[in-house]
A = this chain, B = another copy of it.
Amino acid sequence: MSGFGDATAVERTGEGRYKVELDGDYAFAGAVNGGYLMAVLDRAAVDLSPHEHPVSTAATFLRVATAGPAEVIVEPRKTGRTTATSLVTLVQDGRRAVDALVTTGTLDTGTEASWTGPRPVPSLPPLEECADFAATTGEQGFAAQVDMRFDRSTMGWLEGRPSGSAELRAWFRLRDPHEPDAFALALAVDALPPVALNLGAKGWAPTVELTWHMRAVPAPGWLTLHGGGRLLSGGWFDEEVEVWDSAGRLVAQSRQIAREGR
C-alpha cells in the first residue's frame, strides 16, 4: 500500500507538463477512481499556480483511465492576484481521458464563516454504529486506501432493498497518516457509491461531469460525506456531496452528472 501523497505525486517534465503513475489501488474494475484523478489534476494545477488551493475544479470525464503511466498538461488561462485558472488535461496512451478547468486561490486556515446554512439532516450515526464493509470483505483496492463507515439506513441497496431515496452517508478518512487536505477532498467528493443505487439502478455509473468547490481547509480527523440527488431521468442522474470536517465545518461541495448503470 502506497501513501496517498505518493500515489498522487506529479513529476514536472517541462513547462506545464507532468508525468504521473496512476495507482491501480484506486481503481475499480479496471477504471481508476474519478476523485483520485481529480486529486492528481489539482496537484498539477496548484504546482503551476501562485495560489495554494483548488477552489474550483470542473472536470469532464472523457474516457476511462487505467493504472499505469499518464501525463498531465496544465495550460494557464488567466493568472490573477486573487485567483488563477488553468485547463488541466489527463492524457493516457495519446488520448485525453479527463479535461478540467481548475481555479486556484488561497483559503485562510483561520477564516471564520460569515454565514453557514444548516448542517445536513439527518446527521451521521456515531462511527461505531456504522457499517465497516472492509472489516468483513477485506481491505482490497480502494477499500485498502480509504476507511469508510456507512450509515446503514442508506445502504439497503447492497441487500437488494434500495431505500428509494437518493441518499448516502458515510464517515471517510485515508488509511495512511495523510490528514485531510485539498487533494483528499478531491477524493472524498467522488468516494461514495452512486446514489442512484438507492433508486434501483445497478452497477457502475460513469460520471460525465463533476464540479467541486473547496470551501475551507479541513481540520485533522474524520470527514463526513452527505450524498444526495434530485433527479434520475432518461438515464441521467445528478449526485451532490457535501463534505464536513471534524470541526463541524463545510469544507467541500460537489455535484456530478452521471449515466445510470445497467
Known: A77-B99, A82-B259. A232 touches B114 (CB 8 A): yes
Tell me the smallest distance from the CB of A92 to a CB of chain B, in Å.
13
Give the B-binding residues of A (Cβ under 8 A). Answer: 55-56, 58, 60, 62-63, 77-78, 82-83, 85, 87, 96, 99-101, 103, 105, 107-108, 111-117, 164, 166, 199-200, 208-209, 211, 213, 215-216, 228-234, 236, 238, 242, 250, 253, 255, 257, 259-260
Q: How far is the CB of A156 from chain B (nearest CB, A)?
A: 15
**Bound form: Cα–Cα A87–B89 in Å:** 12
Across the interface, name the chain B residue whose C-beta is closest to A85: B60
Q: What residues of B have a CB within 8 angstroms of the CB of A60 in the complex?
A: 56, 58, 77, 85, 101, 103
Q: Does A77 lie within 8 Å of B58, measured CB to CB?
A: no
Q: In the complex, what residues of B have CB within 8 A of residue A114's CB?
A: 199-200, 232-233, 260
Would you call A230 and B116 a contact (CB within 8 A)? yes
**A234 proximity list for chain B (CB < 8 A):** 107-108, 111, 216
> A58 to B233, Cβ gap below 8 A?
no
Chain B residues with Cβ below 8 Å from A259 are 82
Q: How far is the CB of A227 from chain B (nearest CB, A)?
A: 13
Chain B, Cβ-Cβ closest to A111: B234
Give CA–CA (A107, B257) in the complex, Å: 14
Best-buried of A62, A63, A116, A209 by chain B (most CB within 10 Å): A209
A250 to chain B: closest residue by CB: B231
**In the complex, which residue of chain B has the Cβ closest to the Cβ of A95?**
B78
- Residues of chain B within 8 A (CB-CB) of A101 are 58, 60, 99-101, 209
Cβ contact within 8 Å between A257 and B213 = yes
Given A77-B96, A211-B209, decide whether A115 and B231 contact each other with a Cβ distance below 8 A.
yes
CA distance A82 to B83 in the complex (A): 34
Contact check, A113 vs B78: say whether CB atoms are below 8 A apart: no
The docked-state distance in angstroms from the alpha carbon of A7 to that of B138 is 59
Complex Cα distance, B107 from A241, in Å, reads: 25
CA distance A100 to B85 in the complex (A): 12
